[in-house]
Chains A and B, each alone.
Chain A
Amino acid sequence: MHSRTANVVLEESFLSVRAKLLEVGAALDRVDRALETGSPLDEDVSIRRDKIDDAIRLLLSERPDRAECIQLLFSRRYSPGWRVDMAIDS
């Protein structure tokens, strides 16, 4: 179902990707500047900060399912035994 070349796809995506990366960079700079003037991140917020780093590492990987992996990174875990844990009759 893909009819366009990689050249075309990258050319048409370049400016929007560039803009989104700039937004990420600016947000991280903003966090760092705030850290310099105030208290450190709370533990639960720090976990979120670490997840952003993990997501950036995923972006740099060459796997074909980066979007799916980033979704899973930011997802709560699923346990097949959830019904037993919640005492829900199936």
Chain B
Amino acid sequence: MDYIDPHIHMVSRITDDYATLARMGCVAVSEPAFWAGYDRGSVDGFRDYFRQLTEVEPKRAAAYGIQLFCWLCINAKEAEDVSLSRDVLAMIPEFLDHPNVLGIGEIGLNKNTKNESIVFLEHLDLAVRYNQSILIHTPHLEDKFQGTRMILDMLCDDSRIDRSRVLVDHVEEHTIAEVLDRGFWAGMTLYPVSKCTPERAADMIEVYGVERLMANSAGDWGPSKPTAVPDLIFELRRRGHRESLIRKLVYENPIEFFSQSDHFQFAPRDGNHVTI
């Protein structure tokens, strides 16, 4: 089955991973801006990174028949430095016209601090002013519930924001209902240890359905599995779910959400066209 991974950090993966994804049926990925594992020291460090996302990585993906789209921001893990964050925010518009940029992300909170909240709000304002879709990171482990609620508070207080153009990622059992109930898209991240397993994701699908829901690997430089979405496909098939339901989750939903971005010029494989 053709599928799309809506959240994966391929800059931190080896080229063999592209080959594996292609063999698994991956036809497109979207790559949110990410924390590199260390705090970058200057706005030029981010400019180089954004060039990697918009110029280099799409070519590396294309060699394996995979379309790569991306999102730009300063990740919450680096947002404690508000001054540097503002320099990066001022620079982002230089890249928004690039043909593979889908919007602003992954913005959000990590430790739920005041500075992270300030930078998150300024990202929201940037997204609104430039008519961009938004992809949101929610914190890990004990910070997730509180951070998700804080993020939803800030989103819902801004009447300019179109909720159908916002994807709130890394939802789990205690946050998914609130995200969906408030009209946002929700993403389930499949991780070997610290996030949701394919089995738990399948459970949530059985409880909440697949409307405005996606699944991703968020594969990065840490313990993660870039082929986690096919693992979920396998689990859903094992449980006897319809191919049409699986296809909506891993293919049609990402296309529907991404299509709200002007730059999402997706080319389906022959015979696999999608009507949303």
Write the residues of chain A forming the contact surface with B, with a CB cutoff of 8 angstroms.
1-4, 65, 67-68, 71-72, 74-78, 80, 82-83, 86-90
Which of A2, A68, A77, A87 has the most C-beta atoms of chain B within 10 angstroms of its own C-beta?
A68
The 4 lowest CB-CB distance pairs between A and B, nearest first, are A75-B145, A71-B174, A68-B173, A78-B149
User: Quick one: closest A residue to B113, CB to CB?
Assistant: A86
**Is B157 part of the contact surface with A, judged by Cβ < 8 Å?**
yes
Apart from A3-B241, A4-B239, A71-B173: 8 A-B pairs, beta carbons within 8 A: A1-B241, A2-B206, A74-B141, A76-B143, A78-B150, A82-B150, A90-B153, A90-B157
**B141, B144, B200: which contacts A67 (Cβ < 8 A)?**
B200
**Is B89 part of the contact surface with A, judged by Cβ < 8 Å?**
no
Q: How large is the interface on B (under 10, 10 to 19, 20 to 34, 35 or more residues)?
A: 20 to 34
Complex Cα–Cα for A80 and B206 (A): 30
User: Quick one: closest A residue to B210, CB to CB?
Assistant: A1
B191-242 residues at the A interface, CB under 8 angstroms: 200, 203, 205-206, 209, 239-241
User: Quick one: closest A residue to B141, CB to CB?
Assistant: A74
Complex Cα–Cα for A80 and B146 (A): 10
Write the residues of chain B forming the contact surface with A, with a CB cutoff of 8 angstroms.
112, 114, 117-118, 121, 141-146, 149-150, 153-154, 157, 172-174, 200, 203, 205-206, 209, 239-241
A68 touches B174 (CB 8 A): yes
Chain B residues closer than 8 Å to A71, beta-carbon distance: 144-145, 172-174
Q: Interface on chain B toward A: helix, strand, loop, or mixed SS? A: helix
Which of A3, A75, A83 has the most C-beta atoms of chain B within 10 angstroms of its own C-beta?
A75
A3 touches B172 (CB 8 A): no
B241 to chain A, nearest CB (A): 8
A83 touches B153 (CB 8 A): yes
Complex Cα–Cα for A68 and B172 (A): 8
User: Quick one: closest A residue to B149, CB to CB?
Assistant: A78
User: Quick one: closest A residue to B175, CB to CB?
Assistant: A71
Chain B residues closer than 8 Å to A89, beta-carbon distance: 121
Chain A residues closer than 8 Å to B149, beta-carbon distance: 78
User: Quick one: closest A residue to B177, CB to CB?
Assistant: A68
A1-B205, A82-B150, A86-B114 known; A76+B239 contact, CB < 8 A: no
A1-B205, A82-B150 known; A88+B121 contact, CB < 8 A: yes
User: Quick one: closest A residue to B176, CB to CB?
Assistant: A68
Complex Cα–Cα for A48 and B117 (A): 28
B240 touches A3 (CB 8 A): yes
Chain B residues closer than 8 Å to A88, beta-carbon distance: 114, 117-118, 121
A17 to chain B, nearest CB (A): 11
B154 to chain A, nearest CB (A): 7
A75-B145, A90-B154 known; A1+B206 contact, CB < 8 A: yes
Chain B residues closer than 8 Å to A1, beta-carbon distance: 205-206, 209, 241
